[in-house]
Amino acid sequence: MGSRQKTTYLLRRTLSAIVVFFILGTISKTIAPAFPATDRPQLNEEQLAPVSGIVERTIRDGKILGAVVLIGNREKVIYRRAFGYRSLNPEKILMTADTIFDLASLTKVVATTTAVMQLVETGKLRLDDPVARYWPAFKAHRKGYITVRELLTHYSGLRPDLNLKPGWSGYKTAMKKIVAERPLYPPGKVYVYSDINFDILGELVRRVSGKALDEYCSMCIFNPLGIKDTRFKPPADMHERIAPTQYHKRKMLCGYVHDPTCYNMGGVSGHAGLFSTADDLSIFAQMLLNKGSMKEVKILKPQTVEQMIMPQSPLNKPKLRGLGWDIEAPLSSNRDELFPVGSYGHLGYTGTSIWIDPVTETYIIVLTNRVYPDGKGDVTELRALIKAAVAEALGPISHEQILLKLPALTTYYEHIKN
């Protein structure tokens, strides 16, 4: 890169950082109060009765074998039910509410993003630092200007996944392959959803904390929250509760990660590998709705949670991302047809999802093993219909209610209008 290009690049990064700082400037000064109890939309299990019909119809249509659905708010669980079967062979096993699922890409937000933001809070990582500051070898092949923030928002320019051919195995081999990667696009220009981004973030957690990602998450996230069924590489005594996924080398995967790249890496990666239950994810969602704390245990600061769920993508880009999280377009015109805007969530390839709405303080967890046994299941409609049913039960949400809870959106919305 020539000196003029480098100067232009640094100027662009500086201006972007200033704008982002301006947009999010109210976060550290204003944490919105909760709705008064009389004003906050209230859900009860009776209102959510349509959810059962939605799931049962999806099972009858052959799109999934079974599911666990859990819906709650920051104070309690409102709806918790298991449907259908966990597996069919060698015997039929009913789905139970405590079934453990391969979360697939929910790993990105439950484990990796949370770990990264804890390290940002302590000053061990900085969002707008180049990755190469913490991993010098990473700068090879024009990757020296990719920042931590661009990894979290999928604007790094790297491709979606590592090549599996020719065959390889081992975590260290995966890191060498990442060093050898060449970006498809300059950083900050094009949205490319990339597992590689989060494998890099997992490696940064290891480098700056001195602990492997799985060890760090157990010590600093899962154990403090008291969630005991959430872990990478679950031990054999947990396997009987795990929903199987798909055949791998003629053996049904049950308790071993479904994602092939993570499998090659030994079961621990920044983009996949985590197993959990609906109950554990419920505690995690309540922690976020309580602005980073749960039962007097602080996992994240309130300002950090606010920052994670605000738009962090480069300005004027069509795909909105928070830090790790996918978010709805703020104050979108079709808000009455969507779960209340300002919500955030993530999907997992195996058929898992979590969606959290800080405006109504509601969360939805839908867990399936839709890839069992042949990878042909489909939960796209199921997720949308459950989300719509909850939104209808909550009723319309006004702009004023949204901005009361998420005041940082005011500055963002005014900026994009202009």
What are the extents of the domains in the chain?
Answer: 3-417
Task: List phi, psi (to 5°) of 188.
Answer: 85, 0
On the 0-12 / 13-18 / 19+ scale of CB atoms within 10 A, 21 is exposed
Q: What is the pLDDT of residue 249?
A: 86
Q: What is the pLDDT of residue 416?
A: 58
Q: Are 396 and 334 in contact (CB under 8 A)?
A: no
Could you read off the pLDDT of 105-142 as tens digits, one per residue? 999 999 999 999 999 999 999 999 999 999 999 999 99
Could you read off the pLDDT of 344-374 as tens digits, one per residue? 999 999 999 999 999 899 999 999 999 999 9
Superfamily of chain region 3-417: DD-peptidase/beta-lactamase superfamily (3.40.710.10)
Q: What is the pLDDT of residue 27?
A: 37
DSSP 226: T
Could you read off the pLDDT of 367-407 as tens digits, one per residue? 999 999 999 999 999 999 999 999 999 988 777 778 888 88
Termini Cα distance of the chain: 34
Residue 291 has pLDDT above 60, yes or no: yes
46 is written with which tokens? Answer: 């009776």
Distance separating alpha carbons of residues 27 and 23, to the nearest angstrom: 9
Reported pTM: 0.89
